[in-house]
Structure 1
Amino acid sequence: MVSLAVGRPEWVAFDWAAYPEAVADPGRDHLAHAIAGTAEGPDGEPRLVDLLIDGLIPNWIDRDRSVAGVDADGSFAEFTPSASAIHDGPVGKRLLELVEELARRYEPDQITFTELKFNDETYGRDDAALFRKMTGARDWPRKDDGTIDEDAPEIGAWRSQVLGNFLDRAAAVLDDVADETGKRPALAMDVLINWEDLAAGRPSTGLSYPEIARHADRLVLWAYLGLDERKAADLRPLTAALACSGIPIDRFTISVGLWDDAPTKGDEQSVISPRLMANGVRAARTNGITAVNVTPYTLMSGAYWAALSEVWTELPPTDASAAPR
């Protein structure tokens, strides 16, 4: 499978008639060009195509702060929408329209949301009203001093419910398109790893594994070893926990990222070593896990391809009937 970034609600890599102002580079369907160049391997074998939607909206927030999340101190988020903007607001509406456009136009095998999570900025007035409506509570959970108890599990459970409800709506869109095209893409969600409770996910960000798994077909776990300061061996207890989670193991993808947070000179991106990447891929494919990503392509130099070729010595055949048109 190849996973191709299509853009964000605020900009896309193809001409979108419904939102011409969101077209990053008019006049060419860059996504179709990318699909044409990657949907077959060098020997003509078909590859599955996953289209990746980024949920961040910094430019939209710059234009209209009403869609931004609000922190408990009243400050506005720079990148993330509010819960209400996703649940019943313009951001969720635009995301669903994007899902429909992608499913209908390209007929991919999978559509994945990334960066669709909450970074504690769900405390604006609209979100408070939504919290009360969805939970029946009269107010946020509070500490003895009257401040919001931001670590209260009720808040994380509500955030996960917001994203779960949104995924249900996205799944319904895919079902409707499939009635016309005959092809129903899988719906996937990028999720964070909770290294303290490996099968739980991160409910505080809206990414509870049990809740998200009720609404999405696949969970893609960010195994970004360099950013989390983890060893490849740490992925084995993770996959063991996933195997015992009650969620079918074939619904998980482990995504091994090349990024590192070590300091570098200038703007150069720090990366993990090819050996750590290869060991991470090996460790990820344990305890029944069969879907493993390596990302991003832009950081894959020759040394990484060589290391990866020692791990992925033979790939399973792809059903040609599953390839997009």
Structure 2
Amino acid sequence: MKRPVPQMTGTDVPGDEPSERSVAFGFEDVANEDVHWPSVRARLAEVGATAVTLAVGRADWLAFPWASASKWESSAVAGTGRDFVAEALAELDGLAATLVVDALAPRAISLDPGIAGRTADGESSPDFLSVSALDGGYFGTHLEAMCREVARRYRPERIALTELMFDDATFSRDDLAHFVRHTGRPGFPLAKNGEIDVNHPDIHRWRCESLVRLLGRVSGQVAEFDVRVDMDVRVPWGNPDGDRADSGHDYALLLESVDRIVVWNYFALADADPSYGADLTRSLLRRFGDRFVISTGLWSREDGVVSPEDMTTSLRAVAAAGGRSVSVIPTSLMAEEHWEALAELWAGAP
């Protein structure tokens, strides 16, 4: 069932397009020997993009060679020795660049299962690290070092952390010790049935504060290179004035350690109306000024990809509500019709 369509206010009228108009390229595009970046640059100019977002890999699957972490290079890098990130950036000169670091770590977990997050039932996550592994653990330290290396090597305007969140896999033995140490409680809070109360506010707060500490260290690592830090966050569907503290995404807390939040407006995955981004934008502007990006995702449960019409509706709603920074993700799902729709919206904008 579709959620109710957010209602526009009298102040929501079509106006200038956002000043930051970014298109996002995933790892499948960046670490790709067949991508012709001069052609990509020409296409971005045609549609009026002012910025680009490039995935540089996970800490355990890099899109660039790194001598001190060679065991974590991706197969494309190991097989060719190429720095795919540098090659892309060389051809995309003139566009503001955000380099995205993915916090998932399936390869590292397969080699060291002890760093995996675990559910309250003891099930191990194949992708998500535990709280303790990220906040104070060795792999969290490696993630911080990767962010520093990306900032030092490429000097982008920004780096962004993605997939850095907690869901239900934060209950390992090491996470229990971490929780006790950082909260002062004797253990995880329990429900009346004696099981862990996985939705307890103290657990949410602990997750949020753990991410704030990690992101504070990342920001400190890259500050000397004049690189700012963005943080991808989940959306509170049905409550645009909320956040996602359950995932560690207390927006106000996160903004104590990062420059901006990148809000996952992936409406088609949430069965929400394409114009929901307008409600998000108005609320975020009231609370945080311009310290956010609305990221329009093209993934869809029903048809596999959001239509160009729905993409346009979403972007127009955000612009009309006053959003100044937007992104469309990922280019791998964009057909010619999506590029044409972007050109109609953005081409000619300042």
Q: 1:1-325 maps to which residues of 2 (within 5 A)? A: 1-24=51-74, 25-26=77-78, 27-39=81-93, 46-175=94-223, 177-178=224-225, 184-245=226-287, 247-248=288-289, 250-262=290-302, 270-316=304-350
Distance in structure 2 (CA, Å) of the matches to 1:287 and 1:273? 22
Following superposition, the deviation at residue 217 of structure 1 comes to 0.2
Distance in structure 1 (CA, Å) of the matches to 2:250 and 2:319? 22
**Structure 1 length as normaliser, TM-score?**
0.88
Q: Could you tell me whether the CA contact under 8 Å between 1:200 and 1:210 is conserved in 2? A: no
Q: Read off the aligned partner of 1:102 and give its amino acid letter.
A: V
Q: Could you tell me whether the CA contact under 8 Å between 1:239 and 1:286 is conserved in 2? A: no
Following superposition, the deviation at residue 82 of structure 1 comes to 0.3
Paired residues, what number?
296
Following superposition, the deviation at residue 195 of structure 1 comes to 1.6
Q: Read off the aligned partner of 2:332 and give its amino acid letter.
A: T
Equivalent residue number for residue 43 of structure 2: none
Distance in structure 2 (CA, Å) of the matches to 1:153 and 1:117? 16
Per-residue CA deviation, residues 113-150 of structure 1 (Å, 9 max, x unaligned), is 00010121111111111111111111111111110111
Q: What's the Cα RMSD here?
A: 1.2
Distance in structure 2 (CA, Å) of the matches to 1:205 and 1:244? 23
Per-residue CA deviation, residues 179-209 of structure 1 (Å, 9 max, x unaligned), is xxxxx11100000000233233211110111
Q: Read off the aligned partner of 1:221 and give its amino acid letter.
A: V
Identity of aligned residues (%): 36
Distance in structure 2 (CA, Å) of the matches to 1:66 and 1:209? 29
Q: Could you tell me whether the CA contact under 8 Å between 2:268 and 2:274 is conserved in 1? A: no
> Would you identify which runs of 4 or more consecutive aligned residues in structure 1 move more than 6 Å?
none
Following superposition, the deviation at residue 306 of structure 1 comes to 0.8
Per-residue CA deviation, residues 7-54 of structure 1 (Å, 9 max, x unaligned), is 001010111011111111231111101111223xxxxxx111110001
Unaligned runs of 5+ residues in structure 1 are: 40-45, 179-183, 264-269, 317-325
Distance in structure 1 (CA, Å) of the matches to 2:263 and 2:68? 32
Unaligned runs of 5+ residues in structure 2 are: 1-50
Following superposition, the deviation at residue 314 of structure 1 comes to 2.9
Following superposition, the deviation at residue 287 of structure 1 comes to 3.4
Distance in structure 2 (CA, Å) of the matches to 1:159 and 1:200? 17
Q: Read off the aligned partner of 2:242 and give its amino acid letter.
A: A
Q: Read off the aligned partner of 1:190 and give its amino acid letter.
A: D
